A and B are shown apart, each in its own frame.
Chain A
Amino acid sequence: MSWTGNILRVDLDAGTCVSEPLNSDWAALYLGQRGLATKYICEEVDPAVDPLDPANKLIFASGPLTGTMSATGGRYSVVTKGALTGAIACSNSGGKFGAEFKRAGWDMIIIEGRATSPVYLHIEDGDATLLPANDLWGTSVWDCEATIRARHQDPQLKIASIGRAGECGVRYACVINDHDRAAGRSGVGAVMGAKQLKAIAVRGTRGVQVHDPKAFMAAIKAARAKLDPNPNRKRLGDVGTHAMLDVINAFGGLPTRNNRDVVFEGVHKINAAAVKVSRPGDGRPNLVSTKACFACTIACGRVATIDPDHFTVAGGTEYKHASGGLEFESAYALGSMVGVDDLDAVTYANFVCNEQGMDTISFGATLSAAMELYETGVITDTETGGVALNFGSAEALASMVQLTAKGEGFGIDIGLGAKRLGEKYGHPEVFMGVKGQEFAGYDGRAMPGMALAYATSNRGACHLRASPYASDFATSDLEGKAAIVAATQDERASTHDSAGICMFTAGALDLDDIAGQLEAACGGGWTGERLRETGERIWNLERLFNLGAGFTAADDTLPDRILKEPANAGSAKGKTAELGRLLPEYYQVRGWDENGVPTAETLNRLGIE
């Protein structure tokens, strides 16, 4: 079966790396990746623990299809208690790292304790060793990867690491693998930094065994027959997720200037069309090429360059090279949310976030909150060190992204995240998010389903935990939206966060398609219905962790700006988010009581003790 059956447990206190068998009973219930790692976290970590305490654990988890020939089968997740949120955190990434550690023979890597000095973990198939990383501490992700590969004389090493943001405790620091693929949200990189673990470098040569090879080949061939001609697959390769920028702006739901506006007048300068226009400086467009993750047949990844004459490039030669380009969420957070329409400055900020391991969404949204504080006079040049934090300032964006990533000057405050920043300066209302995590690029007033998805997401505001898009774009009628949010939360929890494949297969592959692959890979009777139930089980287990961490139904809410201030333009002009009607209906659909607590009947049905 395509679980390797092995877990690598790394004790940073003792400096040991020990193999142990995977709990196969849990794998049957929670599948892999997000679900299975959450089960381990719930069993081993006190939900009340400080996320940065050594008692918190950090799990790198693959899914059963990770490392196989399944289309897009290269995903892995980092699961922990989030430094940004204090809630369960699960950040999913692509690239090649996940497949590599699976092919080295590990389903999961569990990191516990805290090293007394910086270390990195080196894995060659079954051999795992902790090595000193004193010389790597203080380096960027990009330099760290190059140094480790040179040290081991192995250009094929796949590396996941933190940059300076993770070292200096930026609350939304992320883990970056393969140069620019991010396990981005909730501050999983800050937890890694607190453990003084700089990187994991792995070579895997063992491959992945499957339960029924003949059936597996047939199942992935059938899936490819549906995925390959799918128009959404072709579109993602052509314009990436970036195309959403025009859609959501036209819809009147693009968060702009800290959600004070919902339409960005400068969108045409930073959209998917703009990156293909030749610029005057060197005659080249921003977008150089696309790229794909392991086993991916979609290739939504973007590769971009900055105009060599742009002021940001003077900051370092590393920014003159092609690197990870803009996707929708980064274009929103580093563009409209801060009011910046300078494509090169937005691309530069994206580069720096990748270079130093920082979530683009939370950074941009926190800078946006700081800009509101600055423009309303709550903070001044005294706090910002003389940087004028006006909305629309490309210079402020470029300056603050460096200061934040390196923990310097006012960047230390930006590194707190918008919730803590607002509270520090006595204006918590500037935080645009839920459970400590900043919104993605959709305004909840224009998208009622997304508003509910934000409010109920177990990892704080998130656009990836549910899929209310088609419903929200079609109608603002609330009828049925609670059920859509709950159902898609369950589907995503199991299929796209726990199986090891990418969420961008959704639309082409349904639950039965994915279950067919899993059954051939793992055996044991996987069906679409079992996958749905597995997702529901995962969702409820995450909810229980959060309740144990101190969250209550009062945290399933939205900022006053979204609930009380009508949108000033677009399809929702004059409207606010109607969470008051949707939330009770959602609790009912979920089988939770009026306080948002899963009932005993629900837990019994799902087999959660």
Chain B
Amino acid sequence: MRVSVELIALAKVTGRRHSCVELADGATPDDLLTVLDLPDDEPYMTLINGLSVAPGLRAATRLVDGDKVIVFPPLKGG
């Protein structure tokens, strides 16, 4: 399956902002983060089709073909 991924405030780290990612059927958001190979120095937040998926629930959440995933670091206001 393919999911679209938008990275926010991570462009400098990864060198990309939008991408499509091929994943095995049944893959989870955690699997996606592994494929994205982001630095492991901070926890990332994920939105799937606009809804937040808490880090603790990612392993139990199944992505489906066509999902839109947004990944961003734990920004705080200022």
- A residues at B contact (CB < 8 Å): 229, 231-232, 234-236, 238-239, 241, 243-244, 246-247, 250-252, 272-273, 300, 327-329, 440-442, 463-464, 467, 469-470, 473-476, 503-504, 506-507, 570-571, 573
Contacts and interface: CB of A to CB of B under 8 A. Distances in A.
Interface string B13-56: 10001000000000000000000000101100101001110110
A573 B49 CA distance: 12
B73 to A, nearest CB: 7
Contact of A247 (B11, B51, B75): B75
B70 interface: yes
B9 A235 contact: yes
Q: Can you list the 9 inter-chain pairs with the closest CB atoms, starting with the nearest?
A: A243-B9, A241-B78, A474-B54, A463-B77, A246-B8, A475-B54, A473-B45, A469-B76, A247-B72
Contacts of B45: 470, 473-474
Contacts of B12: 234-235, 238-239
Contacts of B55: 474
A231 B17 CA distance: 17
A231 B42 contact: yes
A504 B78 contact: yes
B78 A503 contact: yes
A469 B77 CA distance: 7
30 contacts: A229-B41, A231-B39, A231-B73, A232-B42, A232-B75, A234-B12, A235-B9, A235-B73, A235-B75, A241-B77, A243-B75, A246-B72, A247-B9, A251-B47, A251-B50, A272-B9, A273-B11, A273-B17, A327-B78, A440-B77, A441-B77, A464-B77, A467-B77, A469-B75, A473-B45, A474-B45, A474-B52, A504-B78, A506-B76, A570-B50
Interface string B59-78: 00000000000101111111
- Classify the interface of chain A: helix, strand, loop or mixed: helix
A152 to B, nearest CB: 34
B73 A232 contact: yes
B8 A467 contact: no
Contacts of B47: 250-251, 571
A432 B24 CA distance: 46
A485 B47 CA distance: 23
Contacts of B17: 273
B77 A476 contact: no
B54 A239 contact: no
Nearest to A237: B12
Contacts of A235: 9, 12, 73, 75
